[in-house]
Structure formats: structure tokens, C-alpha cells
Amino acid sequence: MMNPCVVCGKWTSAFNYGANFCNACKIFYRRAMKTENFPSECLKEGNCSKCRFCRYQLCLNAGLSPPARKSTNSGFLSLIKNLEILDNQRKEKVLSYSQLPHLNFNFWAEATYQTTLEFISSLEVYKLLNDTEQMVLVWQSVRKYNTLCFAMRAYTDQRDMVEFPKGVNPLPPELNLYFQNFPCVLYKIRSNVVTKLREISITNDEFLLLSAILICDPVPSMFTESGQSHVDWYQKLYSSTLFQYCQTHYPENGPSRFSDLLSVIGVVIQTIEMYENAMVQATLGEHILNRSN
């Protein structure tokens, strides 16, 4: 998808350093970071936006994360650690549910929603929003977040497709019944994201940051200007932290690793669309069958 570069304004499909940042500005930014005798003021004594000094200031004002150094960045480690603590709390809650008897699809659908709600409401960005925006953030991100979480659990357990704890099928009974003669449709919905995670060998730290990026990706029209600003800021924070992580842990191919990780988001959205289309087919099919009877 094409978006205007945050620095020069030209339309680009590139996504560098945690922002819509065209490749030309990317090259300029990298060189500016390494130049020792860089200009300390505008050549035209003002904000001309064209000289090297002003162009670099535009990069900084856009909140771009600089190329990570080889030394460990305690800032992004602290952010990841906080996400890890919240995620462990979520996992412990799910584990406690697993001890209950008579677990079925309806139980786990409600239980996973509750644990997801608790996770999202523990994030700093959630606390900065008004009541309506908080509900919208949860509504827009819960399915994306759960899809990624289920897939990560399957990947960690070395399974090919997602399932609820205790082996409970994560798809609605009516969907399983309607597509019982077309198991490939259901298998693809349950395995799509898992396959992608296995393909890139995702780490838990990368999963945590990717989860936060997914959550901070709402529809702008449903937020106030202030609320959207908060969400945008945190999405940039998580994106730039993930980029720094990639640069630090994959010094030879950090940017490509970052792109590979972001591509997971597309697979998550594609999987949700497949699920929704299958549900529409199942609902219409059942409706037609009932009318014919």
C-alpha cells in the first residue's frame, strides 16, 4: 500500500525505521547518522526543509528510530520485558482455566476473550484513551491478537495448526459441520499463521512486539485526535523497538528481518478474512437449507 513519506511527502510503499519512510530518505538518514561534520544549522537561516540540516530535523521530528548500534539498548529490553510480564500473566490465567472440567468451544471463546481484554487493558496506550476509545481498541484488535497468540502457541508446541487448550477445536461447531467434506478450508484457517511463524522462526521477543504493533493499529475515524495521537505514538514506539531488535540481533540483515516480521500481520489479516468468508458461507448455506425444508 502506498503512503506519503513522513519526511519528503512523496508516495512510497517502503516502510523503514518504523515509519512510512521512502528509500531515498532512508539513504540520506543513514548517511547523516554516520557523518561527523554534519551542518549544525539551516543554510538559509530558517526551516527550509530542503537543506541537509532541515531534512535531518524532519527525520527526527517524525520519530524515526536511528540505526541501532551493536551495543545493547536497555530501553528496548525494558519494553520487551514489560510485555513479557503481561503475556506471562495471560498464559497463567489460561493455564488456570485448563484445570476446570467440561471445557468446550463456547467456554474457551469467552475465556480467551477475557484474557485478551485483560492483556490489552494493561497496556499504557489503553490507559490514555477515553472509555469509548478503549472499547473500540479492544473490539478492533481482539481477533487479530488472538489469531497471532493461538498461532504462536501452536508454533511453540510444535503443532501444525491452532487449537484451544486440551485439544478443543477453535472453530465454531457450525463451521466444522458445514465444511466437514472440505477439511482443507478449515485446515488452512487453522494453519496459515502457524506456517508463517515457522517459516521465519519467530522468537518470543519478536512475537511480543508484533502483538503490540497489531493492537495499536485501529481505524483512525473512530478515535478523537488526541486518542489517535496516543495510538500512533505507541505503534511507532513498538515498531521502532522491533526494528532496533532486528538490527541488534541480525546485524547482517536487520531490515529484511524486520520486513519478514511485519509480513506476519498481513497473514493474520488474510486468515481472519478467510474465517469471516467461511462463516458467511456456512450461515447462508444453513439458511438456504432451512428454507428448503
- DSSP lists the bridge partners of residue 3 as 12
- CATH code of the domain occupying 3-61: 3.30.50.10
More confident residue, 292 or 3: 3
Q: Say if CB 119 and CB 86 are below 8 A apart.
A: yes
Least confident of 66-80, 103-117, 133-147, 279-293: 66-80
Q: Could you read off the pLDDT of 184-231 as tens digits, one per residue?
A: 999 999 999 999 999 999 999 999 999 999 999 867 677 888 888 889
Angle between helical axes of 183-200 and 254-292 (0-180°, round to 10): 170
Q: Which tens digit of pLDDT belongs to each residue from 24-76?
A: 887 887 777 666 566 767 766 666 667 777 777 777 666 665 554 444 455 67
293 against 80, higher pLDDT: 80
The DSSP line for 206-261 is HHHHHHHHHHT---GGGS-HHHHHHHHHHHHHHHHHHHHHHHHH-TTTHHHHHHHH
- Higher pLDDT among residues 132 and 15, named by residue: 132
Could you tell me where in the chain the CATH 1.10.565.10 domains are found?
Answer: 74-292
Residue the block writes with cell 561534520:
37
Q: Where in the chain is the domain with CATH 3.30.50.10?
A: 3-61
For residues 229-241, average pLDDT = 89
- Which whole number is the average pLDDT over 241-261? 91
The set of residues, in sequence order, having a beta carbon less than 8 Å from that of 175 and lying 6+ positions away, is 186, 278, 279, 282
Residue-wise pLDDT tens digits, 264-286: 999 999 999 999 999 999 888 66
Predicted pLDDT at 69:
40
Q: What's residue 168's pLDDT?
A: 92
CATH number of 74-292: 1.10.565.10
- Measured CA to CA, the distance from residue 23 to residue 173 in angstroms comes to 48
Instruction: Confirm if 155 and 197 have CB atoms less than 8 A apart.
Output: yes
**What per-residue confidence (pLDDT) applies to 46?**
62
pLDDT(289) > 70: no
Q: Which of 20-24, 77-81, 166-170, 267-271 has the highest mean pLDDT?
A: 267-271
